[in-house]
Amino acid sequence: MKLATWNVNSVRAREERLLAFLDRHRPDVLCLQELKVVDGDFPLVRLREKGYFAAIHGQKTYNGVAILARSEPEDVVCGLRDGVEDPQARLVSARVDGVRVISVYVPNGSEVGSDKYAYKLAWLKRLRAYLEQHHRPDERIVVCGDINVAPDDIDVARPDEWKDTVLCHADARAGMRELCAWGLFDAFRKCRPEAGLYSWWDYRMLGFPKGNGLRIDHILVTKPLLEQCSGAEIDRNERKGKQPSDHAPVLIDLATS
């Protein structure tokens, strides 16, 4: 199974790029974040023509997540459903070819100390609680998406510049570690231990031309899947050319039957 995750930063603005990406890589599963559309405006028909089904959890203007798959997603669940009043569409889960796939868009957090940062840290805790309630670490599970955390300094081109921002702050990193402590492993990093691999570059300050990148998009897998990871890449070409998202897609190969 070839699985990918990509924060497209508006599925309407990125529709042509999305279709071209699917042609180029033909992933079995593609998790999307920041759709910025309601379900009815998602380009279902054109994706179906490409051979992809979709599980969508959309929202007007902000957020929105989806799972595209070449076989029909089963047992689709939207949102954390933990009783917290929360209108933000940041999680969709579905079973695809016997693998539980969970596409997440973790809150960015804006500024350390802000209400948005508190929401980010709380959301990471809620995600861990969601896994505890609904799943077991011995299942075949992929949690992937824009986690909005660079887990270590090796994941940051210029650590001094990003130190103590919401993407690198100790509390955000601890939140991601606590999430993973449930039983998730960084599948991309297992395959690609080298430095210099990033998935996001700020539009501002010419982040991409200056090589000022961070690895904040992740593919986390449970132990049964970790051993099946045979390769991983980030498609930096998606960050180039006309109208790129600020994120590049992250891909892994899983040796599932």
Residues annotated as catalytic are 105, 146
36 binding DNA? (CB under 7 A):
yes
Nearer to DNA, 66 or 187 (CB): 66
Output 1 or 127, the one with its CB closest to DNA. Answer: 127
Site mask, DNA, residues 44-83, x = CB under 7 A? ----------------xxx---------------------
User: C-beta of 158: minimal distance to DNA in Å?
Assistant: 13
Read off the DSSP letter of residue 157.
Answer: S
Q: Report yes or no: 68 and 30 within 8 Å, Cβ to Cβ.
A: yes
Query: Judged by CB, which is closer to DNA: 36, or 128?
Result: 36
Nearer to DNA, 93 or 148 (CB): 148
| Nearest distance in Å: CB 108, DNA | 4
Binding mask 208-247 for DNA (x = CB under 7 A): -----------------------------------x----
Report in angstroms how near the CB of residue 79 gets to DNA at its nearest. 16
Helices (H), 30-70: 44-49
- Residue 165 found at the interface with DNA (CB under 7 A): no
**Per rule CB under 7 A, is residue 206 in the interface with DNA?**
yes
Stretch of 8-16, 134-142, 217-225, 228-236 lying at the interface with DNA (CB under 7 A): 8-16
> How many residues at the interface with DNA, by CB under 7 A?
18
Kindly provide the b/e burial profile for residues 68-77, where b requires at least 16 CB atoms within 10 angstroms of the residue's own CB. bbbeebeeeb
Interaction site with DNA (CB under 7 A): 9-10, 12-13, 36, 60-62, 107-110, 116, 203-206, 243
